């Protein structure tokens, strides 16, 4: 599919430090160690509703990863999927009497415009699952050849017994896994399964549902295998970061890691599993299924997208937090102050701003710390401190390149 257009990223003097990130599988912050090309996979939307602030927060986090890697001198190969056929999409289309393809296409297009407005760097490959059904089926065949699957009434399951390291990504107890599996699209109670946590790879055609031919008969892919197939095809096994919100830790990233391991023979499938926190509204996680949403496209009608970006940056990417309207008001004030400061003919020297921002951001993306650094510079500049003529322009570039905020 078409990706979206890329904002320009200014080049900064010098080179940033290696990026350190919290890896869920390791349970600690450690250095990312990409080669010349850093490889990033970020799970995309299920396009049955518009982009909300929770999505935006997650994609912003990985946009920062992308920017910090570039600043450290890497090229970044970034791939993203869109889950353009899945139960929730089909259910929504059915409820509202729309064609599921049209619904998906419309929401994906809106997502692109939201991502562009928020200055999220686009993936090199933006792949809809329906574009790669054959690739997904081939991967399932490979898993079948390795003895990792079984058939249940025409559906194909991954046999969790074929994944000796199961649990290694999430670190969750079996009880917690069972609980989350049921809540997040799994079917722990289906009769006939060998183990409650075995997950669906291929779903045989049901009446009224879209389906494609495959070696296992007409049907459609299960959820986790799509990301494994798309990541493998574009990035290969052993890529640097697999990312998404923390609701994807289990089962999605856990299951995907073992599919990739069995298929590619390499462990770990991704060198680091990185997760953004959940954004809530009125005390509950923002989610399309609950409907407690603040849409990016709606907020964009009343404010500058850079204020939205700044409002999100005020939270550490790993924390869970709740959206309130006053956060946007504070972000608007900050944006106006920063714009005034970089519009001055001179200001306090900016090399230390660059060094401090790099230090904050490469330390597990401490965006709130980075905002404080720029705030302090802007305060000094607006108070008439400093006489460096090049400083305002350099701060403008730093904030653009590392935080993605255009002043
Ligand atoms: N299509 C799958 C991934 S393959 C999916 O989870 N789609 S989604 O539309 O439900 O979510 C898209 C991304 O936004 C995921 O990374 C998810 O973890 C993240 N996300 C969803 N809700 C929130 C939220 N309230 N706060 C933060 N991130 C969220
Ligand atoms: Zn995914």
Percent of the chain with pLDDT over 70: 100
Ligand nearest the Cα atom of residue 253: 2
Q: Binning pLDDT at 50, 70 and 90, where does residue 356 land?
A: very high
Ligand 1 pocket test, pick from 1, 44, 91, 256 with the greatest ligand atom count within 8 Å of Cβ, gives 44
Ligand 1 pocket test, pick from 80, 114, 170, 244 with the greatest ligand atom count within 8 Å of Cβ, gives 244
CA torsion, points 120, 126, 130, 136, in degrees to nearest 10? Answer: -120
Spatial CB neighbours of 387, under 8 Å, sequence gap ≥ 6: 346
Query: Encoding tokens for residue 130?
Result: 């329906």
Ligand 1 geometric centre to CA of 167 (Å): 21
* Mean of all residue pLDDT scores within the chain: 97
Q: Binning pLDDT at 50, 70 and 90, where does residue 288 land?
A: confident
C-alpha dist (Å) from residue 327 to 39, 94, 341: 33, 36, 21
Ligand 2 geometric centre to CA of 252 (Å): 7
Category of 8 on φ-ψ map: left (φ > 0), alpha (ψ -120 to 50) or beta: beta
Q: What average pLDDT does this structure show over 370-385?
A: 97
> Is the pLDDT reported for residue 287 higher than 90?
no
Q: What average pLDDT does this structure show over 378-407?
A: 97
> Is the pLDDT reported for residue 266 higher than 90?
no
- What are the pLDDT digits (tens) for 67-116? 999 999 999 999 999 999 999 999 999 999 999 999 999 999 999 999 99
> Is the pLDDT reported for residue 126 higher than 90?
yes
Ligand nearest the Cα atom of residue 247: 1
Q: Considering only CA atoms, which of 372, 398, 355 is closest in space to residue 313?
A: 372
pLDDT given at position 66: 98
Percent of the chain with pLDDT over 90: 96
Can you tell me which atom of ligand 1 is nearest the CA of 243?
A: 16
pLDDT given at position 318: 98
The answer to pTM > 0.75 is yes
Q: Binning pLDDT at 50, 70 and 90, where does residue 291 land?
A: confident
> Is the pLDDT reported for residue 1 higher than 90?
yes
Q: What average pLDDT does this structure show over 287-308?
A: 92
- What are the pLDDT digits (tens) for 27-72? 999 999 999 999 999 999 999 999 999 999 999 999 999 999 999 9
Ligand 2 geometric centre to CA of 43 (Å): 4
């Amino acid at each position: 599919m078409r990706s979206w257009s890329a904002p320009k990223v200014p080049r900064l003097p010098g080179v940033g430090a290696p990026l350190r990130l919290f890896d869920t599988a390791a349970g600690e912050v450690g250095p990312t160690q990409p080669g010349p090309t850093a490889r990033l996979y970020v799970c995309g939307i299920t396009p049955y509703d518009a982009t909300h602030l929770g999505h935006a927060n997650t994609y912003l986090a990985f946009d920062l990863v992308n920017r910090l890697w570039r600043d450290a001198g890497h090229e970044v190969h970034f791939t993203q999927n869109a889950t353009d056929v899945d139960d929730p999409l089909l259910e929504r289309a059915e409820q509202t009497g729309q064609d599921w393809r049209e619904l998906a296409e419309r929401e994906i297009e809106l997502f692109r415009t939201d991502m562009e407005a928020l200055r999220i760097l686009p993936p090199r490959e933006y792949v809809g699952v329906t574009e790669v059904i054959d690739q997904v089926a081939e991967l399932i065949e490979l898993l079948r050849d390795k003895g990792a699957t079984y058939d249940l009434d025409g559906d194909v399951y991954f046999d969790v017994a074929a994944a000796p390291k199961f649990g290694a990504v999430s670190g969750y107890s079996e009880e917690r896994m069972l609980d989350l599996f049921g809540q997040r699209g799994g079917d722990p109670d289906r009769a006939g399964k060998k183990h409650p946590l075995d997950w669906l790879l291929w779903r045989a055609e049901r009446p009224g549902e879209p389906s494609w031919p495959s070696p296992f008969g007409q049907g459609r892919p299960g959820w986790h295998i799509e990301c494994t197939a798309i990541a493998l095809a574009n990035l290969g096994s052993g890529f640097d970061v697999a990312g998404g919100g923390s609701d994807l830790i289990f089962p999605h990233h856990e299951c995907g890691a073992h599919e990739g391991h069995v298929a590619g023979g390499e462990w770990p499938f991704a060198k680091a599993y990185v997760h953004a926190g959940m954004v809530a509204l009125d005390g509950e996680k923002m989610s399309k299924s609950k409907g407690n949403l603040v849409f990016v496209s709606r907020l964009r009608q009343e404010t500058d997208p850079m204020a939205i970006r700044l409002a999100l940056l005020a939270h550490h990417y790993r924390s869970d937090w709740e959206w309130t309207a006053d956060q946007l008001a504070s972000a608007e004030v900050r944006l106006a102050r920063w714009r005034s400061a970089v519009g001055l003919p001179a200001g306090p020297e900016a090399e230390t701003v660059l060094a401090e921002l790099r230090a904050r951001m490469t330390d597990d993306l401490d965006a709130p710390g980075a905002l404080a650094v720029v705030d302090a510079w802007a305060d000094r500049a607006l108070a008439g401190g400093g006489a460096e003529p090049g400083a305002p322009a350099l701060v403008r570039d730093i904030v653009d390149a590392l935080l993605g905020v255009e002043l």
